Structure 1
Amino acid sequence: MPVNSSTLNKVVAKFKNDLKYRQTYRNPQKNAGLLSRKVETISEERPVTQPSFVVAVDFDGTCVTHEFPKVGKDCPHAVDVLKEMVAAGAGIVLFTMRHGQYLDQAVSWFAERDIPLYGVQTNPTQARWTGSNKCYANVYIDDAALGCPLTQDESISKRPFVDWLEVDKLLRKHDWFMESIVS
């Protein structure tokens, strides 16, 4: 689905600003005044609705096949399952090793597929209650994670990638779609 380049540029610029904000204001205790003003500004521009659960998702080998620095092919069923998670109340946080223009490419991938991101590299609400650099999420989906279901299809990629049909089954089995786990 083609995306208007002006819209795409605005989306990328917004996430760059959010990322710059997170990199600048990592210590909520030290920057309490600045932090509270900045959070209010972000909330006015893009109200953050608390999702029922947060899913941190890697990019290469998870959403797309491994072809870094290029963006790989869509992993089968990734888009459908990600959209279903969002429809069920999940907030998706892009949590990847990509940075700079490569991170912009990953953010654009989500925008081009109409998958809204709740955050990039961090949960947007966590600065209110922690100074930790680790992204807070209820679930992490990453091809490098122990236990994450992988598949391999030589016609798509020489390296294994996330099996999104199995991820979907796991999420349903553990009722991640059914109950709110964020208090």
Structure 2
Amino acid sequence: MKEKKSICVFCGSSGRVDEAFRQAATQFGTLVGEKGYDLVYGGGHVGLMGIAADAALASGASVLGVIPKFLQDYEVGHEGLNELVVTDNMHDRKRIMYERSDAFVILPGGLGTMDETFEVVTWTQLGLSKKPVVIANINGFWDPLLTLVDHLVATGFAREENRAIIQVANSVEEVFPLVAAVPVTHGSVDSKWV
């Protein structure tokens, strides 16, 4: 029997956000479980992170949280998960999240969300990953970021095939067909410099 697939979600840890984003996190977590996936995420019980994790747990998904010790010390780690891994640093956190995931979904978030997103996009660009990266562009939240990426292509700092690494869903429902489209084949070392 084939092992269950895991989706890693990158999203904000702030709870002071628009209700539409909170609802999207709930819907995403619910659909993760309903569609038979497991969830991997940053391990917090706050903000969209905690909302998505709680919804996934409630819908029957197994949820893995990965949190660095310094954040766990602030008591933001989610203690109700199936598994909580506490790492020594942020780099180990991202490595474990990557290793334990089959795809990445990006909900609204801040600088940490962008850091995580661009790391996995870069790995795909360099041919180190073939895992889907799907931005859930809820209410156009990521439009400015996508415009910036298009600008990088237009000015020659990125290639069109590298832009295609970032798949865009305009609703939570649109995320899951894109997640299922593995492996991703765009991006290679050759396309970076040649």
Same fold (TM over 0.5): no
Say which structure is richer in strand: 2
TM-score range, shorter chain: 0.3 to 0.5
Larger relative helix fraction: 2
Give the TM-score of the pair, scaled to structure 1: 0.40
